[in-house]
Structure 1
Amino acid sequence: MKIWHNNRCSKSRCAVEILNENKVKFEEYKYLDNPPNASDIKDVLSKLGMKASELIRKGEPAFKENFKGKELSEKEWIEAMVKFPKLIERPIFVNGDKAV
């Protein structure tokens, strides 16, 4: 299992703590330190069964400053997440061909 993790996020830290307490083996992907490319984001969206716009954190300053009120295509939202990885809702758990 892999978790897309932001250590500054309380929900993400809580998720890691629960996994550790339950001795679940997992790999941390600190996506702010090593941002995903468009292919990575498309892959996780496919595993989540979501549209790119559904994975966007609309409360983030980068969203409000750059995208609020705009209609973007799937490709444009993915490009936005590549450019501003803080926009990615977290945590994301990936296990094989599924993600939540």
Structure 2
Amino acid sequence: MSPITLLHNPRCSKSRAALALLQQRNQDVTVVQYLKTPLSLAQLEVLMSQLGLQDPREMMRTKEAEYQQLQLDNAQPAELLRAIATTPKLLERPIAIVGNRAVIGRPPETVLELI
């Protein structure tokens, strides 16, 4: 089995729960604290593809104050990706990645689809 990369925020209960589920199943998990190590634009584009998404909003936390402050309601996809790259708090969490597949761990049990 390929190692699982988990885009993780340790302050998020859902993210902690997803990590615990993977660890309980003895999965090889590489934890990426994306708030400390933000993803580049290129990485975000790949992530969208891995998630099978067309609209970046589907992997964004649109209820965050920063989303409103940046006035992203009518933004185009490229602008949304730039916003995530510069304000990583906007990225939904957790996200588990294996190979060319990824899932958003909401609910946390969703990450188990990758094992």
TM-score by length of 2: 0.82
What secondary structure, in the 3-state scheme, does the structure 2 residue paired with 1:13 have? Answer: helix
What secondary structure, in the 3-state scheme, does the structure 1 residue paired with 2:14 have? Answer: helix
Give ranges in structure 1 of 5+ residues lacking alignment: none
Q: CA deviation at 1:29?
A: 0.9
Q: CA deviation at 1:25?
A: 0.9
The answer as to 2:30 corresponding to 1:31 is no
Q: CA deviation at 1:67?
A: 2.3
Q: 1 CA distance for matches of 2:20 and 2:38?
A: 23
The answer as to 2:80 corresponding to 1:77 is yes
Q: 2 CA distance for matches of 1:67 and 1:13?
A: 30
TM-score by length of 1: 0.93
2:12 partner letter: C
Deviation larger for 49-58 or 59-68: 59-68
The size of the alignment, in residue pairs, is 99
Q: What percentage of residue pairs aligned between the two structures are identical?
A: 31
What secondary structure, in the 3-state scheme, does the structure 2 residue paired with 1:33 have? Answer: coil
Q: CA deviation at 1:58?
A: 1.3
Q: CA deviation at 1:61?
A: 1.4
